[in-house]
Chain A
Amino acid sequence: MPIMIGPPHYEQMLHPAIKKNYGKWLYHEHVKPGVIKHVSQTGDEVYTVRAAIPKIISVDFVRMLCDIADKYSDGYVKFTSRHAVEFIITDKKKIDPLIEELESKGMPVGGTGKSYKPIVHTIGWNHCHTSVIDAPGLAKAISDALFEYFKRNDLPAKLKIAIACCLNMCGAIHCSDIAIVGMHRKPPVVDDEIVSKFCEIPTTVASCPTLAIKPKVLPDGKRSVEINPERCMYCGNCYTVCPGLNIINPKYDCLSLWVGGKVPNARSPPMYSRLVIPYLPNNPPRWPETVEAIKKIVKAWIENAREDERIGEWIERIGWEKFFKITGIPFTDKHIDDFIFSIRDFRTTTQFKF
């Protein structure tokens, strides 16, 4: 039984044109939405064609991608860090037929340059036990609404959205232009029976960021925990480590919306996403309130941002007070940080806008 073999070596996976020009690329150009031309020192030109795919796919779908790759890109295919698929084309004449075939099979071509990129998201109700929302379904609803921007290249800058189905925030949530995070609003319900049987009490106590959990001894001598509801802000991390602390509560669970994060270092340093809407209803299968809120923010950004300004850069320039004014989103006490780093964000200047 072979074991610890690691991933297949990348050299077996590279298109001959990529092997030949490895490390020799001179420049690239956006030909049109979804199509990038790469030019090498050797004079070779290689095109990549990018298409969106669903996050959850069947083996039949992957085989279809393979068939397309065999037909147009010599049996090679690649995927991007935002889970799009890319085909490597050496014969320019194949680009348009490839695009036609991809689109006829439901895979839109786009997502390059200053466009809306495929959402990075988590697995939600499809497979996760701590999920508040269904990220794949919400991603589909948002992507349908923002679809036109995927096929264009004229936004102020790139638009990257991420979804996490709980505040474990798997993915790139804390540094995305727009992020949606599933949130709870009620403390966990302690099931003493399960806690005493299945949970390691010290780990459970230590899992709380606000020290709301302490150990308790039950009348029969068994050990459990108690939660101070005044200190609990419903993060759910104690449920992650202890099945006896169920925090899922469909009546109160909700979505939250964050904006202004970015990862690349271009112009401004990377930025964290910041809370803008603390509550949106968990409303499957289309989450209309959340989709509307996102459309409103994107519209305000498109109308007001300067060239190359990511959402966070735009807001930092105009000021957060003006962002709330322009978008009409109410500012509440929830927006004022009260965790351990809070003071860093208080306005220690008289510079502000009315």
Chain B
Amino acid sequence: MVSKTPLLDELKKGPWPGFVQEYEKMAAKKEIARRMLNQLELSYRDKRTYWKHGGAVTVKGYGGGVIGRYSAIPEVGPPAGCHTFRVAQPAAWFYKTDALRTVCDVWEKYGSGLMNLHGSTGDIILLGAPSEVLQQCFDELSSKGFDLGGSGSDIRSLSCCMGPALCEWACFDTLDVYHTLTMEFQDWIHRPAFPYKFKIKISGCPNDCVAALARADFAIIGTWKDEIQIDQEAVREYAKAGMDIKAITERCPTKCMSWDGKELKINNEDCTRCMYCINKMPKALRPGKERGATILLGGKATILQSAMLGWVIVPFMKIEKPYTELIDLIKRIVTWWDENARTRERVAELIYRVGMRVFLKAVGLPPVPQMVFRPRNNPYYFWSPEELEEVK
């Protein structure tokens, strides 16, 4: 039995907040936390993980939300399973302290008392629950207002940026869309029924503060259709305060701006709404008034066919309660993917395999130039029999 942690102790030094101290706090109170720490020290010594492959555990009624884990060295590490609860976070990670304390109290009662705020997908992560407490822990969390998030081949927990709660650039109500979609898709989140995982993320503007374009199969990113709102007096204030406005206009990707020392002009028809000028002069420039979102599909990590960034499938959609058009589109896409994908095939890979042509037809979206950087450069394109009939 390891009782000293010389390697991990090295990580208690330095100015950045350390996690080893957090283990030690819980190790003093909880045997499972002490064993997790011991096992980690051995990993540092042997340069390898000591978690056994996989682990299928869950709670009654659900197929996802709990990540099963067993120690490969239970004589040193946790002996009776050491599982993770993914707990669904409130929109944009805003909390009243009472609610957070509730989670802490339940978690200290049943688990290791160690957690992450938050997992990359967004969930509250409760790290280290023995097998025998899973159901009671879930029951108590659930009776106190907290449900599980997603895992496995389901719709994963959604996440959204802080949007209109604290940001002047939000082009729609990201928090409300997050909550509405999460509630709409509860069954799809809790009961894995799909070929693989499917993630939805919501950003209020193209700054994309939740990295939806990179980390979500379905990204909803706020944008506008009309003119950037300019307060010329405020632009002059920035200039007076020493900002080089000319340099900003020169960095505009479409060069659609000009500044003559008195007035800032934007040719909005050529603006691609990259946010740069607005980011630089938040007091003077604001997104337009005709607001909505661009929908991008396909963001994912490496496995299997390389990492992909989401690409445009709907250049502009109004995002207004009760979000019928948005919900319908998600349902059409998920259903098509569910029926056509191979096992463990993300929606981007399905489209890569069958082509955008097939996808667009199946989900009823029109092809538009905004979907590509540039048209194809090879002549290998398909015609459907119906199209041949049309030109007869």
Contacts and interface: CB of A to CB of B under 8 A. Distances in A.
Contacts of B60: 1
A12 to B, nearest CB: 6
Contacts of A13: 90-91, 94-96, 99
A46 B62 CA distance: 41
A7 B146 contact: yes
B318 interface: no
Nearest to A10: B91
Nearest to B10: A285
A134 interface: yes
B253 to A, nearest CB: 6
Interface size range on A against B? 35 or more
A62 B89 CA distance: 15
Contacts of A169: 301-303, 307
A282 B49 CA distance: 12
A311 to B, nearest CB: 16
A8 to B, nearest CB: 5
B107 interface: yes
A144 to B, nearest CB: 3
Contact of B61 (A3, A22, A136): A3
B145 A263 contact: no
Nearest to B121: A170
A225 interface: no
A164 B301 CA distance: 11
Interface residues of B, number: 121
Interface in B39-54: 40, 43-44, 46-54
A60 B13 CA distance: 20
A53 B117 contact: yes
B117 A62 contact: yes
B32 interface: no
Contacts of A170: 120, 301
Contacts of B330: none
Given A27-B168, A75-B97, A340-B306, A263 B22 contact: no
Nearest to B279: A266
A62 B17 contact: no
A187 interface: no
A267 B93 contact: no
B36 interface: yes
Contacts of B227: none
A206 B302 contact: no
A235 B303 contact: yes
A190 interface: no
A58 B10 contact: no
Interface in B278-315: 279, 282-283, 301-307, 309
Contacts of B164: 22-23, 25
B215 interface: yes
- Residue among B82, B145, B182 with max Cβ neighbours from chain A (10 Å): B145
Interface string B94-138: 111111110111011000011111101000000110000000000
| A contact face: mostly helix, strand, loop, or mixed | loop
Interface string A270-292: 10100000000010111000000
B307 to A, nearest CB: 4
A93 interface: no
A107 interface: yes
A301 interface: no
A120 B89 CA distance: 18
Interface string B191-209: 0000000000000001111
A193 interface: no
B167 interface: yes
A164 B7 CA distance: 21
Contacts of A28: 167-168, 282
Contacts of A81: 93, 159, 161, 209-211
Given A6-B183, A10-B179, A206-B342, A235 B302 contact: yes
A55 interface: yes
B41 to A, nearest CB: 10
B66 interface: no
A79 B118 contact: yes
Contacts of A80: 93
Contacts of B113: 58-60
A67 B340 CA distance: 51
Interchain residue pairs A-B with the least CB separation, the first 6: A144-B14, A174-B307, A243-B53, A125-B43, A143-B16, A23-B164
Given A58-B115, A131-B49, 17 more contacts: A10-B165, A10-B176, A12-B96, A13-B95, A13-B96, A14-B165, A27-B283, A52-B16, A54-B17, A54-B22, A58-B22, A76-B97, A125-B48, A147-B16, A235-B302, A267-B274, A340-B305
